[in-house]
Amino acid sequence: MKTGQAIGRVLHQRRSERQISQDTLAARSGIARATISRIENGEIENPGIVTITAICKALGLGVDALLERAGLVVARPSRSSNKEAQRLKTLLERLRSAVEGAQNAHASALDAQRALEEVLDGMSEVYANASPGGAARIAGGGPLWDA
């Protein structure tokens, strides 16, 4: 699904959930009803950020939540979580130690495998506990909207 279609689908769902007409949404957001209709129908591939922000605000939906629901962002842990950052740092140090040990023939391949499994499990735990509002980047890394 293309970016515009994904955004339009989520906005339409949210508007329907809130039982708001396109005319009412247009009045609340300051965006023309025709533009809202075209966005919801996926006819506008790259709706402007100002437009999307105004519509989201009128729908009581954060832009980050819109992007997440549309499948356009990858979540990451909250920047404010020092505990999560420290856990990742510890896991990375454990992995580096295991790799260096394996390279120096001081550790077996099994030890390196265990360290890697510990790191992957720990990282999965950190990401599972990450706040959903911590949207990080656009899936695929490209720009979402034209300027």
The reply to whether 133 falls in a domain is no
CATH number assigned to the domain comprising residue 12: 1.10.260.40
Average pLDDT over residues 51-80: 80
Say yes or no to pLDDT of 141 above 50: no
The first and second tokens of residue 47, run together, are: 């709706």
Average pLDDT over residues 116-138: 56
Say yes or no to pLDDT of 4 above 60: yes
At 60, is the pLDDT very low, low, confident or very high (cuts 50, 70, 90)?
very high
Chosen domain end from 11, 43, 75: 75
The structural domain count of the chain equals 2
Average pLDDT over residues 101-123: 63
Question: What pTM, to 2 d.p., does this model score?
Answer: 0.54
Q: Residue 33 belongs to what domain range?
A: 3-75
Q: Are residues 91 and 71 in the same domain?
A: no
Say yes or no to pLDDT of 19 above 70: yes
Chosen domain end from 54, 75, 96: 75
> pLDDT value at position 134?
41
